[in-house]
Structure 1
């Protein structure tokens, strides 16, 4: 029996080590914040530490203590962490702002809901962006046989848990998700599944075959051998819309202060007009570099007919169209002479003294960008990223970009700016309610709230180098869909 228990503990320790490796490999660029990574690592290392103490105790010299340890059921949480990390590895999950942490309940909700009266916060496994929309994900790795619908001596019951989560979802303006996703790693009993459908309007969603496979490999004498194989083929994934539930708080006042907007939101109908809007290759070849031209031609062109109609979910009007929201930094990076027409070589060919006079205190900054572009051309990144996308910019970005190009841009940069703008669609400033609900301060300036909030309203990730704003938003716990790029400056080319 001792040998069997030792084997169980060793296997659990291997799983912990593998999960720790996977957490460290999660992409930070657009996937997960450092804070989330630290939280997950702390939990995994704590579990590994517990298992190490457990095995030490079982091999202690005291036979009585060892016997007591062996007879105690081995309770581990590594399965839950495996499932959380596995979800985080999926490509459709982005903008992870919280992992295995709690979100606050408003005091008004705690007063009005008797079952939440003593509740201060709600545990959520993942706060992220899924299919361009903010979601909360709750993960269960328990045996379906022991998932109780009603309260019992061992559990508060799944019904009450869902009620509390949905109450928190409706109470939070800035963290409010468009839906709550339930991931039952080992499936769910039929009667519980039906209860979730009938009482909370839950519906199944399919996330593709990659979600249901989990494999761990270890190198042994030059060959890779499978040490862990876990399948989520029995997993059940359900989605609940907070507004569609019968059992959550409603009627909260979420008025937005600091910006006056019409209550009606623009509705978009999409009509392809490539014959009308398509840039001619000949026109581009005359003045534009090949890579920039391919990016402009690779953007999907469509006509957005803005109507003053109320819309509950504007992102749905685009159907399968893949939107991307540009902030000013992205537009500058695309048109700058640093990135185009061999501008780097031309720039660095000038004497340093001349360059210092030209760029003054920005000399080191500009040269650093130029050398960075030699090592890793930014337009190559943009070409892969933007092909087939429909680009949008809000009015604020449009005006700011035009002013900057007019003041600082050279003739070639101005030409590229005109070509780029003609391939994008300009939409009104219409920041989402949840972004506008964030407090306005230095790192959360109103201008940036409008820019990023407009992308959030259209469920479009914002392409940006403004990571100070992105970090400030993530520190609030909000999930925001963004794509980071390296900064570039106009050089008067």
Structure 2
């Protein structure tokens, strides 16, 4: 069995207490933890869970106490989750900010966050109409490129795009916006990462000369995300991308259907990854947390796991406007 090294930040009380020190911004931590991979894959909770597993391995009778120290604070929800796992949490509890909730809103499958069409932002109506027009053609495209045909197609001639990979293709921060100096810490980190290691060129290389496939669940979530957080140019790029996609109905393979929904295993992710598995498609995704979760249940996902990026155009324009005022 392959062994993995685990570094404990602080060991005290003659080995009876293990401490994990987390110094990141609590809102960024909450986004990464709650977003199912959308905002990054450096999930502090996953690391702390490794502490718990290792502590129990150390001793079945009196395992070391695991303490997580959040030097910059932790959200109430994240602290409660860790405490339910048996972790002692140290650090100021803070509420989830409105901005964080807004970014996470696309996770909700049943609503887009507005009680009526009148409340929806009116900007970029033309691009929204373009997206809806493309939607009308999905059924026809799916009929031509049937599930059976795509399943039989050579693996090297097709690739499946997750929501996260579609976001990277259209995000402002991956299309020149990475040079903007964001005040928002999360976006500043992503811009810095993008300047150092551009993600989109890697995906484009994988996509070259292949049939680009996605499913209804992924495309719906992508559209919802764009409607809520997308800027005008991001929506233009999205329209172009969607026109190049083969969109199939959700057709989940049996092994993914058998998964129990809960924790990092969300219904939407099961539909997306299960459809890619049914079609025998290699995936592009940054949803590493889901891949780890299903791996623990004996399911291997064939995928290129890339860094995540957020839609950033509206945030950039908002900060530029604030600077000018």
TM-score (norm 1): 0.34
SS of the residue corresponding to residue 160 of structure 2 reads: strand
2:224, 2:162 → 1: CA distance?
Answer: 14
Residues 320 and 470 of structure 1, relative CA distance in 2, 3 Å threshold: closer
1:343 matched to 2:177: yes
Please list, as runs of the form range in 1=range in 2, the aligned pairs for 1:33-72 lying within 5 A after superposition.
37-38=2-3
SS of the residue corresponding to residue 401 of structure 1 reads: helix
Q: Which has the higher contact order (CA 8 A, sep 6+)?
A: 2
1:332, 1:366 → 2: CA distance?
Answer: 14
Paired residue for 1:324, among 128, 142, 159? 159
1:320, 1:378 → 2: CA distance?
Answer: 22
1:371, 1:320 → 2: CA distance?
Answer: 34
Please list, as runs of the form range in 1=range in 2, the aligned pairs for 1:351-370 lying within 5 A after superposition.
355-356=182-183, 363-370=184-191
Counterpart for residue 478 of structure 1: 299
1:305 matched to 2:143: yes
SS of the residue corresponding to residue 391 of structure 1 reads: strand
Paired residue for 1:315, among 151, 168, 177? 151
Residues 451 and 320 of structure 1, relative CA distance in 2, 3 Å threshold: closer
How far is 1:339 from its partner? 0.6
| Residues 162-187 of structure 1: CA deviation (Å, up to 9, x unaligned) | xxxxxxxxxxxxxxxxxxxxxxxxxx
How far is 1:319 from its partner? 4.2
Quick check: 2:291–2:300 contact (8 Å CA) kept in 1? no
Aligned residues: 179
1:324, 1:393 → 2: CA distance?
Answer: 9
1:432, 1:464 → 2: CA distance?
Answer: 18
Displaced runs of 4 or more, over 4 A: 306-309
Quick check: 2:155–2:280 contact (8 Å CA) kept in 1? no
SS of the residue corresponding to residue 262 of structure 2 reads: coil
How far is 1:38 from its partner? 2.5
Please list, as runs of the form range in 1=range in 2, the aligned pairs for 1:459-478 lying within 5 A after superposition.
459-478=280-299
How far is 1:321 from its partner? 5.9
Counterpart for residue 381 of structure 1: 202
Gap runs ≥5 in structure 2: 5-140, 315-325
How far is 1:324 from its partner? 1.1
Paired residue for 1:416, among 237, 242, 260? 237
TM-score (norm 2): 0.51
Residues 328 and 320 of structure 1, relative CA distance in 2, 3 Å threshold: closer
2:170, 2:290 → 1: CA distance?
Answer: 23
| Residues 300-342 of structure 1: CA deviation (Å, up to 9, x unaligned) | xxx6535889x6x9622x24662211111111111100010x2
Quick check: 2:142–2:249 contact (8 Å CA) kept in 1? no
Quick check: 1:314–1:457 contact (8 Å CA) kept in 2? no
Residues 390 and 412 of structure 1, relative CA distance in 2, 3 Å threshold: same
Counterpart for residue 448 of structure 1: 269
Quick check: 1:321–1:390 contact (8 Å CA) kept in 2? no
2:156, 2:288 → 1: CA distance?
Answer: 26
2:235, 2:247 → 1: CA distance?
Answer: 18
| Residues 70-100 of structure 1: CA deviation (Å, up to 9, x unaligned) | xxxxxxxxxxxxxxxxxxxxxxxxxxxxxxx
How far is 1:450 from its partner? 0.5
1:307, 1:404 → 2: CA distance?
Answer: 26
SS of the residue corresponding to residue 295 of structure 2 reads: helix
Residues 308 and 461 of structure 1, relative CA distance in 2, 3 Å threshold: closer
| Residues 11-58 of structure 1: CA deviation (Å, up to 9, x unaligned) | xxxxxxxxxxxxxxxxxxxxxxxxx6439xxxxxxxxxxxxxxxxxxx
Residues 319 and 461 of structure 1, relative CA distance in 2, 3 Å threshold: closer
| Residues 186-243 of structure 1: CA deviation (Å, up to 9, x unaligned) | xxxxxxxxxxxxxxxxxxxxxxxxxxxxxxxxxxxxxxxxxxxxxxxxxxxxxxxxxx
SS of the residue corresponding to residue 412 of structure 1 reads: helix
Which structure: greater strand fraction? Answer: 1
SS of the residue corresponding to residue 372 of structure 1 reads: helix
1:308, 1:424 → 2: CA distance?
Answer: 13
1:321, 1:468 → 2: CA distance?
Answer: 25
Which structure: greater helix fraction? Answer: 2
SS of the residue corresponding to residue 463 of structure 1 reads: strand
When Rg is computed on C-alpha atoms for both structures, the one with the higher figure is 1
